[in-house]
Structure formats: C-alpha cells, structure tokens
Amino acid sequence: MTCRRRRRPIALPLVGCGGRWPTNWTCTPTSIEEKIFYPQLLKRGADDPEGETLDAIGDHNDIRDAVRQANAATVDSSKWWAAVGRAREANDDHMGEEEREGLSDFRRNAPIGLREALGRQYSEFMAQHPTSEGLPAADRDPQAYVEGIEAGSQPKPKDYSLGIGSLKGK
C-alpha cells in the first residue's frame, strides 16, 4: 500500500532537508500500512499473507532504524552515508517485495470495493498527516503484530463497520 507518488524521497542526498529525513518519510506511510493494509492482507491474502506481513513489519523496523541512525549521525560523515545506504537498501527491497508480493496478492484476492475503500482511507490519512507528528515511530515485534491481528486484538468500531467509508464518524 505504498503511495504511488513515492513519498519516500531517499537521499537526493536529502538536499533542502539539512541532511535529515523529513518527519513523514517513514512514520506516516508505515503507520497507515500497518493500520489498514496488513490486517486486510492477513484476512484476504492467499499467497502466504502471514509471511508477507512478518517480512514487511520487519522491513519497516529496518527502515526506521536506519533513518534514526542517519538522523543521529553528523551529516556527510561516513556513519551518515552508511546509514543512508542502509535505509535506501532496506526501502528499495521493501518496496519491491511489497509490489511483487503483498500488493499483488491483495489485488488478486480482495474485492474491488475494499481495495478502493482502503485507497481512499490511505489518501485521507496521508492528507491528515502531512508530518509524522503524533504517530508512533517505535519498532514493532512482527510476530506479536501478526498474532494480535489474528487474535482480533485490533480495536473494532462500535458499529462493526470497517470505518473506511465516506460517512466515517458521522
């Protein structure tokens, strides 16, 4: 469920950002993917959705870790460049896997209405969160995440809807 506009502008080399990643680089897309996409993939996927989800959550952790390391290093130092390289590699691998595996599996197995609804919810979330302020930036335990989804420990709306339609909250 990666933004088609590729909101992850990895090391151009971070020109205009003072060598630091913008705050929405990782937390905003990973937050919404972990909130709406991966739970649905676990329900609808057919080609090892649990494995795809475990890998993706681990990838998100690797990306966040590398971004934190780059932001903690002196800009243009060897530590900074090494962390930028790790972030770029982790992000590139994740994006490729997501396109080939999770998204492809979901497109084949989820009804068009659900896919469209998740796309709208994704767009709304990104518009509401131009930065990652207030969003969780902590790594997740991939196994605990999957087990929580499968056990139904995700908060459920009181009206039993998916909470993704145009009347959400009305």
pLDDT at 61: 92
The pTM for the full model equals 0.75
pLDDT at 167 over 80: no
Task: Give the closest residue to 21 by CA, choosing from 63, 94, 71.
Answer: 71
The CA distance from 130 to 122, in Å, is 12
136 backbone φψ class: left, alpha, beta (φ>0; ψ -120 to 50): beta
**pLDDT of 3 above 70:** no
Residue pointed to by tokens 């090892």: 48
Model pLDDT, residue 138: 85
Is the pLDDT reported for residue 14 higher than 80?
no
Rounded CA-CA distance 85/11 in Å is: 9
Tell me the C-alpha distance between 34 and 115, whole Å: 15
Residue pLDDT, tens place only, 92-145: 999 999 999 999 999 999 999 999 999 999 999 989 988 777 887 789 999 999
Calpha distance 57→42 (Å, rounded)? 13
In this structure, what token pair is assigned to residue 35? Answer: 């909130």
- C-alpha distances out from residue 91 to 6, 11, 30, 125, 148, Å: 11, 11, 11, 21, 25
> In which band, very low, low, confident or very high, does the pLDDT at 41 lie, cut at 50, 70 and 90?
very high
pLDDT tier, 25 (very low <50, low <70, confident <90, very high otherwise): low
Domain ranges within the chain, ordered by starting residue: 27-150
Q: What is the pLDDT of residue 22?
A: 53
Q: Distance (Å, rounded) from C-alpha 31 to C-alpha 126?
A: 10
